[in-house]
Amino acid sequence: MTELPKAPNLLSRLITRRTGLAALFASAVTLAALAGPQPAVAEDKVIKVGIISGEDEDVWRVVTQEADKRGLRIETVVFNDYTQPNEALERGEIDANAFQHKPYLDNQIATQSYHIVPVGYTGVWPIGLYSKKHAKVADLPDGAIVGVPNDPSNEGRALRVLENEKFIKLKEGTGILATTADIVENPKNIEIKELDAGIVGRSIDDLDAAVVNTDWALKSGLTPENRIAQEPIVDNPYRNFIAVKAGTENEPWVKTLVESYQNQTVKAEFDRVYKGTGLSAY
């Protein structure tokens, strides 16, 4: 707490009138600054946030409006794949990003030595098993061709979905970064095709089924009616979050950015855009 000036003593009365007035003016300015609301960031600073193209652009338009109400100016930088937002954040080209879950970030840190930390949850999109040829899991034939995303964290996630549906069994103790090399049982002899996360949904016509991330499912024209299975919601480790460069997580604008996302106005837009395929995670 700022200590109030003490009553003037004999020495202070010797100060010239001009100096005394200047000191009083400076004190008044200081107190006014302390009393007034402080901006989250300098007025000329724009916080750049990396997001993935598609439905999230609509959500972040509302986040931008909410941030403006809180005195924070943000600009979204749109990327078309999952590798670019972390590269840009690490290089300092953007200030934050919002597109990933913890298993994905952990893998990126392990392989790329990034210095990135999560600061606030956004949503969770349960990964699902989709098919246009079969109405339910039991209809998938022996030898079915099933597509899965090939990036480390999402491939393991997809294989867990297949294990939950009794298509395969993974090696005991296999973690979240499971690969096809960890499959120890495949009783229906399904053929697993590892494809880029952005391609697997678009390849659905050439597959019996595919495990697809929700955002890519929407981009690929898949609907909840095409989803024949999905991962559990409870205790889901794949909640997405806003992330920033390590060392900036305690800056005032970070808290304001998170608050600009985690509110009922943004949640309403999130629900409108994702139509139940994604859930708010805060």
Kindly report, residue by residue over 204-260, the tens digit of the pLDDT: 999 999 999 887 898 899 988 999 999 987 778 889 999 999 999 999 999 999 999
Nearest to 160 by CA among 193, 131, 127: 127
Does position 199 have pLDDT exceeding 50, yes or no? yes
Residue 25 within a domain: no
- What pTM value is reported for the model? 0.69
Q: Domains in the chain: how many in total?
A: 2
User: Do 182 and 220 belong to one domain?
Assistant: yes
Q: Which two tokens stand for residue 281?
A: 């995670």
Report residue 134's pLDDT band, with 50, 70 and 90 as the boundaries: very high
Residue 20 within a domain: no
Contact between 188 and 143 (Cβ < 8 Å) = yes
Residue 7 within a domain: no
User: Do 146 and 211 belong to one domain?
Assistant: yes
Does position 88 have pLDDT exceeding 60, yes or no? yes
Residue 79, domain extent: 47-125+237-280
Q: Which residues pair with 130 in a beta bridge?
A: 210, 227
Residue 75 within a domain: yes
Residue 114 within a domain: yes
Contact between 151 and 82 (Cβ < 8 Å) = yes
- Domain of residue 219, CATH code: 3.40.190.10
The 3 state secondary structure assigned to 94-141 is: CCEEEEEEHHHHHHHHHHHCCCEEEEEECEECCCEEECCCCCCHHHCC
